């Protein structure tokens, strides 16, 4: 995850930036790219944005359960990365650092908006407030009843993951949806690897128990 070949489409930049590095077919770790950002290479920052925008929006969406807030928080992560460029040290893996920033922001946002967040609702007639999508009951491959069941199942999944203790929820999102390794999750959460394994086992055990009616 940390090693990225610089083949992303970057905008026009002055010579000597990431474009010339790409032309030479060089590859860099994300930490090395970040060191170029530190040295003032704006195209290196654009590269990191293009690489991590989707994973970060996805992470924030599952933490904030709201598309607009997720995008806002993901942008804030990139801004914080940019602001911290001068103090960045390549001692830790870049993604660990990135997800630590994201985790702090997401946890603070969850605490700030805890009372504002409604319970997960299921409705066939109205569009989903969080995703903006409407259940496609006109889809002839599924009946209205199947659609309702599917939507209930989705609401249950979201509700049960949301209801996990904070660290367990973070660990599940990073493991299941961000495909991160135990070691890296442990570093982000500042836990030992064995404590992280145990945390994840307990979280999945809870989800297995609480979602078994949908399995």
Partner 1 sequence: MRCDKIREMMPDLASGLMGASPEIGGHLAACGACAGKLEEFRRTMELLEEWQAPEPSPYFDVRLQARLREEIAKPQAGWLAWFRRPVLAAALTVLMAVGVGLFFTRSGGIYKSGDDEIAVVESQAQSAEPGTAVSDLQALEKNHDLYSDFDLLDDLEVQHDVVANP
CB of 186 to partner 1, least distance (A): 13
167 is a site residue for partner 1 (CB under 8 A): no
Phi, psi (rounded to 5 degrees) for 51: -75, -40
13 is a site residue for partner 1 (CB under 8 A): no
18-37: contacts with partner 1 (CB under 8 A): none
129 is a site residue for partner 1 (CB under 8 A): no
78 is a site residue for partner 1 (CB under 8 A): yes
| Closest by CA position to 167, among listed 191, 138, 140, 143 | 191
Chain centroid to CA 156 = 20
Helix (H) or strand (E) holding 4: strand 3-5
Among 122, 148, 158, 166, binds partner 1 (CB under 8 A): 158
With contacts defined by CB under 8 A, name the span among 13-21, 91-99, 110-118, 168-176 that binds partner 1.
Answer: 168-176
**DSSP label of 13:** -
Binding site for partner 1 (CB under 8 A): 49, 53-54, 57-58, 61-62, 67, 70-71, 74-75, 78-79, 82-83, 131, 150, 153-154, 157-158, 161, 172, 175-177, 179, 181-182, 194, 197-198, 200-201, 204, 207-208, 211-212, 214-215
């Amino acid at each position: 995850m940390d090693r990225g070949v610089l083949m992303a489409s970057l905008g026009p930049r002055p010579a000597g930036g990431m474009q010339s590095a790409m032309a030479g077919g060089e590859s860099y770790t994300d930490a090395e790219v970040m060191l170029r950002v530190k040295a003032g290479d704006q195209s290196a920052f654009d590269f990191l944005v293009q690489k991590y925008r989707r994973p970060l929006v996805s992470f924030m969406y599952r933490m904030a359960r709201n598309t607009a807030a997720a995008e806002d928080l993901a942008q804030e992560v990139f801004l914080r990365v940019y602001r911290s460029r001068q103090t960045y040290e390549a001692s830790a893996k870049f993604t660990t650092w990135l997800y630590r920033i994201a985790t702090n922001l997401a946890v603070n946002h969850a605490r700030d908006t805890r009372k504002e967040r409604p319970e997960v609702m299921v409705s066939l007639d109205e569009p989903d407030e969080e995703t903006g999508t409407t259940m496609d009951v006109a889809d002839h491959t599924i009946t209205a009843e199947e659609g309702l069941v599917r939507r209930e199942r989705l609401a249950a999944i979201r509700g049960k993951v949301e209801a996990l203790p904070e660290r367990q929820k973070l660990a599940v999102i990073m493991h299941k949806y961000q495909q991160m390794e135990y070691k890296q999750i442990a570093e982000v959460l500042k836990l030992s690897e064995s404590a992280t394994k145990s945390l994840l086992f307990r979280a999945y055990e809870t989800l297995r128990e609480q979602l078994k009616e949908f399995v």
